[in-house]
């Protein structure tokens, strides 16, 4: 597959991030564009005119010019003084996505870099040589300087990499594979680090993970509706066609389809018919409520927001990973060099701050549904905390507490997700001698979004376990065919909780089913 700086998709990036040995090369047109901008850079160098970050210092040190003879060394020094990241190392998936996105941005042909820089990035991706990149230390303008310096350092052979399960010196791995370290020339180091590629890697992966959660949330709502003897008329197309947000309509349609054939979650008319006529009386208490609580009735209006948001987040991130997020940029057709701010992660941080809020809203929705399911005051005749049914005179009576602890854990997870949902973009801080006096905080927002997604997966897993317990107490044979398939998939690995037991392993098992797509496959009828 070829990259050209223009046509890399989110799907291609996610696929490359998730597997070892993805092979990409640079298109002929991109190579020509790269060479043209490099030639222009070299021509301007000969004139002795200052070029930011090439023959000048960086940031606030822009007013200090050096001779062309020092330019290569300047690039290496740039990388070394930013090697001060902290925190855990970025995952393999994030690093692979970062390698590909940075290569694609430089392949656009405006950065003046030498071709071996991009070729070696793609070699790292193909051989799964993954620079060891600490997650913390970037404010998202001028780009992801600190984390991308660890990538650049590995390319030069000075850094550390993960290779075949071991952390090793990059130089040793390159030597083993017969690859040469990159010898940086003027601008190469700055081009490698002065962009949003690390933040964008998190953001792209978050986008697809959040899309998966939207599907899972609708599955959860369908199961909860059955467990609560809900009214599936709330998801009828007529309602949502008259508030036609695309995401809301999509969520309502999925829940409606999932519940087709259910004898537990009935249609509006079926629920109404459960209640007898007044027959001259002035009052009666209905056998079953004709309207569910908000966390069930308004679920499409919550999950639909996430679905709609993902449309523009995907658009923004597709632009971001196909941009020259670098400074300065060269225009060979005019002979001009431009200094600007394309390294700024404003679109990334806004996308991720928004995504955080929408995903945290999903966690809150599912937590509210769970609270109804376990509470005997609200769960329409289910047992307290979903314990197995037991007669009052049974010796086990009063000993079991079922999902009480699970609901407490779910509440804690939800609170943590909501706590992290505040906007990172509002915490801009002036840095680097007030040159970087307005920064994006994109990587922090992207990492927070990743955390909220992980927490929401765990909330969904607890919810699904409780919902499966609930429908089993009602009668699995009464479920719809598609929700019964989801129940069966979970029961392949997690049994009914007949008595109190340790359940952290159950949660982990369902989280893996969510992450792998096994649950959405089961709901679609293809996962059994």
Rounded distance, CA 373 to CA 371, Å? 6
Query: What separation in angstroms does the CA of 272 have from each of 109, 137, 233, 242, 267?
Result: 66, 59, 11, 23, 9
| 3-class secondary-structure state, position 257 | helix
Closest CA to 196 of 98, 114, 124, 130: 98
Rounded distance, CA 172 to CA 127, Å? 14
Rounded distance, CA 168 to CA 165, Å? 10
User: The sheet that has 166-169: what strands, in order across it?
Assistant: 130-131, 160-163, 166-169
Backbone angles phi, psi at 247, to 5 degrees: -65, -45
Q: Which residues of 45-81 are buried (b: 16+ CB within 10 A; e: fewer)?
A: beeeeebbbbbbbbbeeeeeeeebeebeebbbebbee
81 is catalytic: no
- Count H helices, E strands: the chain? 20, 9
Identify the active-site residue in 52, 150, 163, 344: 52
Rounded distance, CA 204 to CA 485, Å? 30
- Active site members: 52
């Amino acid at each position: 597959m070829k990259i050209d700086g223009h046509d890399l998709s989110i799907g291609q990036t996610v696929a490359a991030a998730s597997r070892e040995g993805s092979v990409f090369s640079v298109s002929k047109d991109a190579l020509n564009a790269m060479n043209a901008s490099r030639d222009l850079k070299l021509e301007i160098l000969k004139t002795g005119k200052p070029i930011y970050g090439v023959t000048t210092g960086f940031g606030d040190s822009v007013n200090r010019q050096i001779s062309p003879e020092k330019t290569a060394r300047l690039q290496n020094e740039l990388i070394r003084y930013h090697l001060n990241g902290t925190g855990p190392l970025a995952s393999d998936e994030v690093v692979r996505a970062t390698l590909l996105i940075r290569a694609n941005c430089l392949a656009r042909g405006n950065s003046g870099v030498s071709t071996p820089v991009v070729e070696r990035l793609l070699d790292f991706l193909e051989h799964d040589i993954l620079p060891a990149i600490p997650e913390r230390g970037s404010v998202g303008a001028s780009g992801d300087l600190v984390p991308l310096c660890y990538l650049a350092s590995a390319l030069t052979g000075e850094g550390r990499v993960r290779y075949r399960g071991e952390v090793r010196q990059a130089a040793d791995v390159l030597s083993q594979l017969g690859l040469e370290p990159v010898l940086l020339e003027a601008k190469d180091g700055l081009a490698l680090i002065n962009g949003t590629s690390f933040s964008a890697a998190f953001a792209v992966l978050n986008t697809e993970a959040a899309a998966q959660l939207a599907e899972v949330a609708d599955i959860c709502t369908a199961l909860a509706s059955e467990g609560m003897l809900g009214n599936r008329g709330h998801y009828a197309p007529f309602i949502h066609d008259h508030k036609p947000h695309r995401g809301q309509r999509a969520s309502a349609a999925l829940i409606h389809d999932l519940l087709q054939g259910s004898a537990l979650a009935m249609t509006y008319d079926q629920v109404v018919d459960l209640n007898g006529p007044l027959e001259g009386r002035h009052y009666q208490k209905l056998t079953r409520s004709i309207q569910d609580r908000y966390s069930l009735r308004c679920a499409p209006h919550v999950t639909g927001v996430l679905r709609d948001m993902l449309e523009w987040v995907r658009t923004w991130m597709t632009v971001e990973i196909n941009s020259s997020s670098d400074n300065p940029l060269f225009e060979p057709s005019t002979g001009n060099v431009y200094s600007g701010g394309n390294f700024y992660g404003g679109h990334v941080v806004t996308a991720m701050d928004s995504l955080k809020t929408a995903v945290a809203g999903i966690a809150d929705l599912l937590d509210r549904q769970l609270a109804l399911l376990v509470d005997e005051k609200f769960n329409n005749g289910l047992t307290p905390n979903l314990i197995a049914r037991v007669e009052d005179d049974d010796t086990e009576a009063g000993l079991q507490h079922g999902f009480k602890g699970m609901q407490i854990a779910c509440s804690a997870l939800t609170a943590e997700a909501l706590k992290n949902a505040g906007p990172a973009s509002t915490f801009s801080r002036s840095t680097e001698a007030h040159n970087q006096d307005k920064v994006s905080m994109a990587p922090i927002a992207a990492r927070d979004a990743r955390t909220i997604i992980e927490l929401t997966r765990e909330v969904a897993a607890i919810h699904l376990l409780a919902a499966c317990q609930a429908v089993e107490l009602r009668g699995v044979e009464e479920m719809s065919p598609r929700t019964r398939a989801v129940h069966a998939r979970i029961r392949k690995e997690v049994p009914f909780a007949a008595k109190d037991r340790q359940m952290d392993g159950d949660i982990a098992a369902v989280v893996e089913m969510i992450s792998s797509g096994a649950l959405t496959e089961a709901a679609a009828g293809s996962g059994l």
